Structure formats: C-alpha cells, structure tokens
Chains A and B, each alone.
Chain A
Amino acid sequence: MTEIRDVAVHHETVVPQAQQDITDGGPDMVQFVDGEGTRLERTAANTPYAEIVEALTPEDGRSMYRDLVLVRRLDAEGHALQRQGELGLWPSLLGQEAAQVGAGRAMRAQDFAFPGYREHGVAWCRGIEPEQLLALFRGVDNGGWSPSELNYHLYTIVIGNQMLHATGYAMGMQRDGVVGTGDEDRDAAVMAFTGDGGTAQGDFNESLVFAGVANAPLVIFVQNNQWAISEPNYKQFRVPPYQRAQGFGFPGIRVDGNDVLAVYAVTKAALDNARAGQGPTLIEAFTYRLGAHTTSDDPTKYRSAAEVDIWREKDPIKRMRGFLSQKGYADDAFYESVDREADELAVRVRTACQNMPEPSQERMFDEIYVDPHPVVEREKAQFMEYQAGFETQEAR
C-alpha cells in the first residue's frame, strides 16, 4: 500500500507546457511577413503557398488592410456599446482580425461557414451587416440573420456543437454532387470555426472522425488565441491542434494567425483541395486574444501584462500596414481614407444599435415549431389575454 501511495504522490497531475512557447509558433508555422511587415524569404513551411501570395495584387493587399481596420473598429464599437449598457455582452476579436479576415476572404460565395461566437471578422467578409451581429448581444434575438442568404450559419454558443453541423453540411454537399466536378463556380466546401478550448470538446473530435471517414469537403479552422477564458493551451492539450489532424487521416497546418497573407493563402489552398474532393484540412491559426474573453471577463487575474505586450508587437494591422508601405502599395492618404471609413462605420453601428426596435413580447411564442402546436398556441393566447387585461385596466 505504501508503495502505491508513494507513486501517487510523485505523479505529476498537470503536464506543464514543455517545449511550446506561447509567443512563438515554431518552424512549422507558415508565415509570409514578419512583425514589421517585411516580406520573408521562402521557407520549407511557406513554399507550398508562395504562389498564392505572389498572385495577389496591390489592390488585394489594400482591400485586406481595409477589412482588418474596419473589423477592428466594428469590434471596438461593440465593446463600447456593452460598456454603455446598450449590449448585454460582447466577445471581442481584438488581435484575431487577420485570422478571421484571411479565412473569410479565401471563401467563395457558394462555400458555407459555421462560426462560434467571436467570428465578427468572418461575418464581415461574408457580407453580414454589422448591426445584424448586435441583435444577439442586445437580447432581442437568438440569431440575427438568415443563414442561407449569405451561407453563414448563426453564432453557436455551446462550444464545438457547430463543428458537427459543418461536417454534416459538407456531407450533404457531397451527396448534392457539388464536390470535385471541376466547375469553379459550382464546387463548394465548408469552413468550421472554433478555438483552442473547442479542441477539447467531444463534438470537435467527433467532427474530425466523421469528416475523415467521409472525406468531406471541410476546412476545420482553429483560432488558437492561447486562452480558453482563463485556461492556457497546456491545460487543453498536450499536442498542438495542427499535429492532431494526422491522427484523423488528413493534413494539419499551423499558420501565423496574425499574418493575413499567410492565413489567406493557407485557407485558399485548403478550400481548393476540399472543393476538388481531396477531403478535409485542419488549420491552426496561431494568434492571440488581446482583449478579455468577453466583457464579463478580467484577464488580469490569470495572465501577465508582459505576455500581452509581446503580442501587441505582433499586431496584425501594424504588420499589414508595414508590408503595404514597404512595398509602396499604399500611402498616407489611403490609410487616412480607411480611418475615415472606420469612423463612419462606428457611427452607423452605434446608431443602428440604439434604434433597434424592441421586439413585441408575444413574439417569443413564434416559430417554435413549423407546424401548429397546441401548447404553444394555447399559452400564446393566454399570454395575450393576460396582457390585454392590463391594457383594459389602464384604459379605465
């Protein structure tokens, strides 16, 4: 008995983060520009994607920069609106703009995306109106848009649930014959978004099993922002997410999530493969959540300011601006015009939020079922009669 107890005492119950550096993605990570925006030479990791980046025009670069800035401003406005009591909650994407814009821009109209709840940048790229994103957080709606209009599913709050919906949707595309036909306008794929915390969920792992077995046209996009609320990577996994894909039978790629060119190139390649019928890819975008988990969180309780400062230096917008300037693709007049546009967007988002109509109370009974349901109908009628009683009293 003593021996067993000794073993138990000496057993390490938490494996510390051994070789992984939370600020360094390592040599496998695909990267095209450094922290200052200087274009990097070809490496073993980035060479397979170099042609995609080289095919981009200066206009593409400016357009990406514009998206990054506008998305950050939209996010800042969401945060401010929560602080002023206009929204109940806001999950900030601060620091993850390049991961989301790079991925979102790589998609085609016929592709379909399944977000978590922080993917405001992907929503922007899909064409979701910024004010539509606010309805959920203002408490007037549990969704906010029609998923099939822009092929962008509603936000999913239970972590990981959406990974399986994405997989099933991709299996449906296979059955519809829109995979591997060679028709660029027809072939389609699905993107499923989650974070480092999401990789611990059963649904995440089941989605990898199902997608692998079906060879489904699916790109699993993990934004590893290093923190699942207060828990760092080493409390979520022993092997980084991109290495896990191999065990499920398809490639996994780690990309610098703060390098919009790299994210775009890697995602485009994975989507092209998926649409061509070559099956799933897992992309781990190595990035950082510069803000709190949500407006209800206090990250000073669990992480150091020094760590945040290191990541501020890797800011995705600063890098893209450095790249554009070094290449001579943009000048100050351009940056100023984007800033003005961001100001206008902020005003638009704020006004739309404050002017959002209050929903009628009886609406809570609507669209629970497709076909009539006696319990819902009865309760709605009772509710309206009850409410009408107050109105009659007031009228007296």
Chain B
Amino acid sequence: MAAQKMTLAKGINAGLRAAMEADPKVLLMGEDVGKLGGVFRITEGLQKDFGEDRVVDTPLAESGIVGTAIGLAMRGYRPVVEIQFDGFIYPAFDQIVSQLAKMHARSRGALRLPIVIRVPFGGGIGAVEHHSESNEAYFAHTAGLRVVACSDPADAYWMIQQAISSDDPVMFYEPKRRYHERAEVDLDPQAGSILGLHDARVVHEGTQVTLLAYGPTVKTCLQAADAAAQEGISLQVVDLRSLSPLDTETIDRVVQGTGRAIVVHEASTFLGMGSEIAAHIQQECFHHLEAPVLRVGGYNIPYPPSRFEEEFLPGLDRILDAVDRSLAY
C-alpha cells in the first residue's frame, strides 16, 4: 500500500475502518457516531458500511456507554467508545476507574476488557465551557489503564489500531485542534516506521534543551524549535505519545544528552503529567542535569472562557521564555 496524504481526523477514521475490517468483534459506540459520523466526523461513513449493530448510536449517558461497553467486552467484543468532548467524560469516571481499570486484577486475570475510550481533548478551538479540557492525568494516575495521545495523522492511523488490538483498556487522547492537520501516512504495515504504542519519538533533533510534549503541544514545540533555531538555539523535541506507561528509557536517554528538559502540555501544571516526568528525571538523570526541569502548561485555574485561551494555553512565547530560563542556569 502506498503512502497517502490525509488529515489526523481521517487517519483515525481509516484506522477504525481497518480495525473493523480485521476483526468482526470491534464495535464503535458513542453519541451521534452513526449517521452523523460524530460531532467531529471521525466515524463518518462507518455505520453505513458496518451496520447499526457495529456502529452504535447510544443514549446520551456516558456512564451508560462505558458500563455497557464493559458488559460487551465481557461477552467477547472489543468496543471503541467515543466520548464526545473531554469535559463530558466525568459521568463515566466511576465506571472507568472503579470497574474498567480494576476488572482484570479483581478477577485475577480471568476477565479482559479490551476497550478503547477515545477522547477528543484540549483547547484552542474557541469552544464553550467543558469542551477544551485536558484530563489525561486523572487516568494516567489510575493503575489498570493505558493512556496514549496521538499528535499527527500517521500516529492517529497506527496508534488507534494498536490501541484496539491491546487486551488492556486504553484511553486514547486525540488533539482536537489538530484534527485537520494534514500529512503523509504510510499505510504499509511492513514500512518499519511504526513504533510501539508506548514508545516516545524524537521528532526534532537538537542539542541544547529537550522539549517533552504530547498531543496538541507537539506542533507548538516544533514551531518553537524552528523559531529558536533562527536565534541559534538548538532545541530537541520529543513526542511522548504514551502517558501511561511513560517511555522512560527514551526520556532518560534524551535528557542525559542535553541536560535540560522542559515539559509542555495544555493541562494545568499542578500534579499534571509534567510533575511525574520532572520527578522521574530528577531521580534518574540527576547528575546529568544542567538546570531544573521546567514545566510549561495551563495555569492552575478552571479552563477559562475562550477569549482567554490564547494566553492560557502554552504558546510559542511561553515555551521560548522557559528555554531562556533553562539556558540561564
């Protein structure tokens, strides 16, 4: 199969289609995922081709969606659940944390729940309240779940298929403001460029400071690297891709190389992914560090009204400011 240029949204759509073709047990469930194709059109055309029993328009109740997905998984299905927006996942929090994450352990391995929960996340689209959140840390904190975030069309296409084939539950975070970004996707599974679901990737080589990002901030960090290069500063950018487990081998290797690390995410920094990553780096790379690990993220306030989000979200200037502070040590 040749490479194709497609959007990130299309990458997920094509990945879902490939997974459904490969395994008749794969089901899609969610609000408006059928005829409408979801509010972001990620599931567009799939109900037409796979029928209403495999692309299920559910009642508008998130706990009900995840709870029934658990029952379907117990019966041998592999449900892929769409949560319409990040901020609507909380009604399902109980089912995810109390049941989905623990079932394999409490059954001592007798039950497997191969469920993927897709979450369009993050801000930057001028949305109303509850439509721009980054709640990945809640789930990364919960043992029994795997948490990943894609950042480009190729990862969208391959990672969604890897997540579906995982026998563990996977929280699959999709950067909604990057849905329409386009790039080449190599559809050949033998291409050799496909990383494991939990591997981080260096997306921009650099020598002075390492930027660690995932989801929507990967692109922002790449822009920062370009801008810094014009001032003669060499930034390395790493797409973490997996938040639980973290690819600590890659993190240790790159940070030991540059001696300076900055974690960039949209979520509020207090007890966000950056906190765990910074703690890990200071423990494992202490003698290599030239500067404290810095975090650039959302402020520690509820996600603000959209007229504020340009300042709330970690943009180019705040990242470059942190780079300056890191280099000043």
A347 CB-CB contact with B under 8 Å: no
Cβ–Cβ contact B143 & A172, under 8 A: no
A369 CB-CB contact with B under 8 Å: yes
B94: which of A158, A168, A368 is its contact (CB, 8 Å)?
Answer: A158
A209: which of B59, B66, B75 is its contact (CB, 8 Å)?
Answer: B59
Q: Which residues of B contact A154 (CB under 8 A)?
A: 106-107
Cβ–Cβ contact B74 & A168, under 8 A: yes
Contact digits for B15-52, partner A, Cβ 8 Å, 1 yes 0 no = 00000000000000000000000000000000000000
Cβ–Cβ contact B248 & A374, under 8 A: yes
Question: Which chain B residue shows the least CB distance to A145?
Answer: B110
Cβ–Cβ contact B94 & A165, under 8 A: no
Q: Which residues of A contact B98 (CB under 8 A)?
A: 158, 161
Roughly how many angstroms separate A175 CA and B71 CA in the complex, as a whole number?
12
A250 CB-CB contact with B under 8 Å: no
Q: Which residues of B contact A354 (CB under 8 A)?
A: none
Q: Which residues of B contact A203 (CB under 8 A)?
A: 63-64, 67, 94-95
B104: which of A202, A206, A207, A367 is its contact (CB, 8 Å)?
Answer: A367
Give the number of chain B interface residues (Cβ < 8 Å).
42
A-B interface pairs (CB < 8 A), number:
133
Roughly how many angstroms separate A163 CA and B71 CA in the complex, as a whole number?
9
B288 CB-CB contact with A under 8 Å: no
Contact digits for A151-174, partner B, Cβ 8 Å, 1 yes 0 no = 001101010010111111111111
Cβ–Cβ contact B245 & A158, under 8 A: no
Q: Which residues of B contact A373 (CB under 8 A)?
A: 245
A291 CB-CB contact with B under 8 Å: no
A185 CB-CB contact with B under 8 Å: no
Question: Which chain A residue shows the least CB distance to B71?
Answer: A168
B195 to chain A, nearest CB (A): 16
Q: Which residues of B contact A174 (CB under 8 A)?
A: 53
B144: which of A141, A207, A369 is its contact (CB, 8 Å)?
Answer: A369
A142: which of B58, B67, B91, B105 is its contact (CB, 8 Å)?
Answer: B105
A40 CB-CB contact with B under 8 Å: no
Cβ–Cβ contact B104 & A167, under 8 A: no
Cβ–Cβ contact A209 & B95, under 8 A: no
Interface hub of B64, B71, B99 (most chain A Cβ within 10 A) = B71
Cβ–Cβ contact A368 & B110, under 8 A: no
A25 CB-CB contact with B under 8 Å: no
Cβ–Cβ contact B69 & A168, under 8 A: yes
Given contacts A161-B94, A165-B74, contact A175 B67 (CB under 8 A): no
Cβ–Cβ contact A168 & B75, under 8 A: yes
Question: Which chain A residue shows the least CB distance to B58?
Answer: A210
Cβ–Cβ contact B167 & A147, under 8 A: no
Cβ–Cβ contact A209 & B61, under 8 A: yes
Cβ–Cβ contact A168 & B70, under 8 A: yes
Roughly how many angstroms separate A166 CA and B59 CA in the complex, as a whole number?
16
A370 CB-CB contact with B under 8 Å: yes
Give the number of chain A interface residues (Cβ < 8 Å).
42
Q: Which residues of A contact B73 (CB under 8 A)?
A: 168
Cβ–Cβ contact A206 & B61, under 8 A: yes
Cβ–Cβ contact A210 & B64, under 8 A: yes
Interface members, chain B 95-122 (any A CB < 8 Å): 95, 98-99, 102, 104-112
Cβ–Cβ contact A146 & B68, under 8 A: no
Cβ–Cβ contact B67 & A165, under 8 A: yes
Interface members, chain A 336-388 (any B CB < 8 Å): 366-371, 373-376
Q: Which residues of B contact A161 (CB under 8 A)?
A: 67, 94-95, 98-99
Q: Which residues of A contact B258 (CB under 8 A)?
A: none
Cβ–Cβ contact B71 & A213, under 8 A: no
Roughly how many angstroms separate A213 CA and B245 CA in the complex, as a whole number?
38
Cβ–Cβ contact A370 & B112, under 8 A: yes
Q: Which residues of A contact B106 (CB under 8 A)?
A: 142-143, 154
Interface hub of A156, A161, A367 (most chain B Cβ within 10 A) = A367
Interface members, chain A 274-309 (any B CB < 8 Å): none
B77 CB-CB contact with A under 8 Å: yes
Cβ–Cβ contact A173 & B75, under 8 A: yes
Q: Which residues of B contact A376 (CB under 8 A)?
A: 143
Given contacts A142-B105, A175-B53, contact A206 B168 (CB under 8 A): no
A394 CB-CB contact with B under 8 Å: no
A331 CB-CB contact with B under 8 Å: no
Cβ–Cβ contact B68 & A168, under 8 A: yes
Q: Which residues of A contact B111 (CB under 8 A)?
A: 147-148
Q: Which residues of A contact B94 (CB under 8 A)?
A: 158, 161, 203
Roughly how many angstroms separate A246 CA and B167 CA in the complex, as a whole number?
39
Cβ–Cβ contact B99 & A165, under 8 A: yes
Nearest 3 CB-CB pairs, A to B?
A168-B71, A164-B67, A172-B75
6 A-B interface contacts by CB (under 8 A): A147-B111, A161-B95, A173-B75, A175-B72, A369-B104, A370-B166
Give B contacts to A, CB under 8 Å: 53, 58-59, 61, 63-64, 66-77, 91, 94-95, 98-99, 102, 104-112, 143-144, 146, 166-168, 244-245, 248
Besides A206-B64, A207-B64, A210-B58, 6 other CB < 8 A contacts?
A142-B105, A163-B67, A170-B71, A209-B64, A210-B61, A370-B166
